[in-house]
Amino acid sequence: PAQMIPTPAAKLASDSITSPSNPVYRPLDIDTLYYTRSIYALRWSVDNEHLYFETNITGRYNIWRVPSAGGWPVQLTVSEEKTDLADPSPDGHHLLYSQDYQGDEKPNLYLLDLTEYKTQNITNTEKRGHRDMRWSPDSRSLVYAAERDIPGTYPIFQQDLATGTIKKIVSSDTGDCEAVQFSPDGKKLAFSRTRNYQYSGVSVYDLEARSETVLAPIDDRATSIVGDWTRDNKRVYVTSNANDKGMDAVALLDLKENAEFQWLTLQDWDSQLADVSPAEDKYAYIVNEAGNIHLYIRDLKGEQEEIPPGHGVIRAARFSPDGKQLAIIHGSGDSPHDIWVYDLKARTLKQITYSLVGGLNQDNFVQPHLIVYPAQDQTPISGFLYIPANIKPDRSHPAIVYPHGGPQWQHFNSWYPNIQYLTSHGYLVIAPNYRGSTGFGREYMESLRKDAGRGDLNDLVSAVDYLKTTGYVDPKKIAIMGGSWGGYLTLMALTRTPEIWAAGISIVPLA
């Protein structure tokens, strides 16, 4: 049975729960809402002048370029296939990206010539995935993890771009490889080895000696992902939860067997490395506080500043090559993801792209409230509550409990057009981060083992109890809706606690 679980949510306080007054708030059309676009990957040009990014502004995700000072974006790739941006070459001549075929999730690697804007498929395989590709510092070769030998396995290959020669340099016999990073001097590779894509360790491969050093063995309870190298080639930055708290944090590892984690950001909430400045005088990292992602820059003295806006979600943060600016992808409950540039000296933030199209603006949406409520065993459950504007606390309004998928996932203060549609039509929506969710420590995440469909379902029932305390909700008008694992929980809720729900919508449920 479910038992009370320690979680940092115990330190949270719920926002004040009120319906905002908004004279321009109105019911939204679903088609118009889905005109809004989004941005994913982000890279700087080597001369600091441009930003490369992925957007579906045309309806398909392709790679675009925009001046880093702001201006009109230019489309660089035109494809009906899924593309994923990698990096420009260190010499600035090419842009590396991957592209699959008809959604097969087995991408090949492509080079875009940044002078003639011609593309070339440089791996040219069928049903063989390539990922985690990196340029050598001299721009002459690439390394990547790929299933070129055996489908489903990912050793590391190196490809000479002048000759096209591809050779396997790291085996996958002791675990698939991911998060590959060249050392600044080009002599070593740091990478993560993963088992079952749930647990991972860290290794370094010496390209000259052809030997692997295991800095952190694969741990059956921990994940350690390589982020970057120190500029002296002597240590590796990682994000890992191989600590007593079971929280993700940034650490340094020396280049030796079973190296000790030197924790830099270990705290009560998950934190992850975002980027290291070119001079390595500072690094950027994010802190996931119950679904709001906070971005910080910390220098070598340990002094830090939080980068605005301080709420919502940060998808990426990258220092410019000259170290003077930080480009970020930010979105929140009331705005799709866009690129912003932060000037480190002036401490100013400027929006560069605009994904909120279709005649909509932020006044058409509501920002969710962070809430905390007790589960049946008194474990504090946090989540987000979306309240329509201009409604009264007269216990007459319908509501929806919205469990996320996973279950090892989390509902963030991010952009969900379907939720904004529902709230604009009068529904309150509560999105709980029930037990089993990520972001609240290892014990909380693993608590559904041997208890799936019970402890998490009880947390959703407690969400209904919480809704009744707001004064806005009619208890007879509460529905449940979720996808994937959330769809499974919807079916569990309708069969095990049918008396609670007025309706249920199960989307692509796990079955």
pLDDT attached to residue 219: 86
Do residue 108 and residue 18 come from a single domain?
A: no
Please check whether residue 66 lies inside any domain of the structure: yes
Do residue 397 and residue 461 come from a single domain?
A: yes
Q: What is the mean pLDDT of residues 35-61?
A: 94
Domain stop point among 68, 102, 127:
127
Do residue 112 and residue 66 come from a single domain?
A: yes
pLDDT at residue 15 greater than cutoff 90: no
Please check whether residue 379 lies inside any domain of the structure: yes
pLDDT attached to residue 269: 97
pLDDT attached to residue 3: 63
Smallest CA-to-CA distance from 250 within 225, 230, 231, 232 is with 225
Domain stop point among 66, 98, 127:
127
Phi first, then psi, for residue 257 (nearest 5°) are -60, 135
CATH number of the domain within which 408 lies: 3.40.50.1820
Q: What are 105's two structure tokens?
A: 């999730």
Q: What is the pLDDT of residues 104-132, one digit of tens each?
A: 899 999 999 999 999 999 999 999 999 99
Do residue 26 and residue 83 come from a single domain?
A: no
Quick one: angle between helices 455-469 and 485-496, nearest 10?
80
Do residue 390 and residue 467 come from a single domain?
A: yes
Do residue 25 and residue 48 come from a single domain?
A: no
Residues 6+ apart with CB under 8 A from 495: none
Q: What is the pLDDT of residues 274-295, one digit of tens each?
A: 999 999 999 999 999 999 999 9
pLDDT at residue 81 greater than cutoff 60: yes
pLDDT at residue 59 greater than cutoff 90: no
- Rounded Cα gap, residues 182 and 308, in angstroms: 31
Q: What are 279's two structure tokens?
A: 């001079």
pLDDT greater at residue 195 or residue 428? 428
User: Helix or strand or coil: residue 462?
Assistant: helix
Please check whether residue 377 lies inside any domain of the structure: yes
Do residue 374 and residue 460 come from a single domain?
A: yes
Please check whether residue 260 lies inside any domain of the structure: no
Do residue 16 and residue 75 come from a single domain?
A: no
pLDDT band at 511 (very low <50, low <70, confident <90, very high): low
- 3-class SS string, 17-44: CCCCCCCCCCCCCHHHHCCCCCEEEEEE
CA-based diameter of the chain, in Å?
A: 73
pLDDT at residue 2 greater than cutoff 80: no
Please check whether residue 15 lies inside any domain of the structure: yes
- What is this structure's pTM? 0.94
pLDDT attached to residue 451: 83
Any bridge partners for residue 505, and if so which? 481
pLDDT attached to residue 357: 81
Please check whether residue 333 lies inside any domain of the structure: no
pLDDT at residue 497 greater than cutoff 90: yes
pLDDT band at 310 (very low <50, low <70, confident <90, very high): confident
Cis ω for the linkage preceding 8 (within 30 of 0) = no
Q: What is the pLDDT of residues 333-364, one digit of tens each?
A: 999 999 999 999 999 999 999 998 878 888 99
Do residue 15 and residue 75 come from a single domain?
A: no
Q: What is the pLDDT of residues 206-233, one digit of tens each?
A: 999 999 999 999 988 899 999 999 999 9
pLDDT attached to residue 256: 97
Do residue 424 and residue 487 come from a single domain?
A: yes
Do residue 21 and residue 52 come from a single domain?
A: no
Q: What are 307's two structure tokens?
A: 């980068």
Mean of all residue pLDDT scores within the chain: 95
Please check whether residue 500 lies inside any domain of the structure: yes
pLDDT band at 453 (very low <50, low <70, confident <90, very high): confident
Please check whether residue 173 lies inside any domain of the structure: no
pLDDT band at 35 (very low <50, low <70, confident <90, very high): confident
Q: What are 288's two structure tokens?
A: 């996931």
pLDDT attached to residue 375: 96
Residues 6+ apart with CB under 8 A from 185: 137, 233
Asked whether the beta carbons of 1 and 347 are under 8 A apart, the reply is no
pLDDT at residue 1 greater than cutoff 60: no
Structural domain count, the chain: 2
Domain stop point among 85, 109, 127:
127
Q: What is the pLDDT of residues 398-446, one digit of tens each?
A: 999 999 999 999 999 999 999 999 999 999 999 999 999 999 999 999 9
Q: What is the mean pLDDT of residues 475-488?
A: 98
Determine how many CB atoms are found less than 10 A away from the CB of residue 421.
18
Do residue 491 and residue 404 come from a single domain?
A: yes
- Give the domain range for residue 500: 8-30+360-507
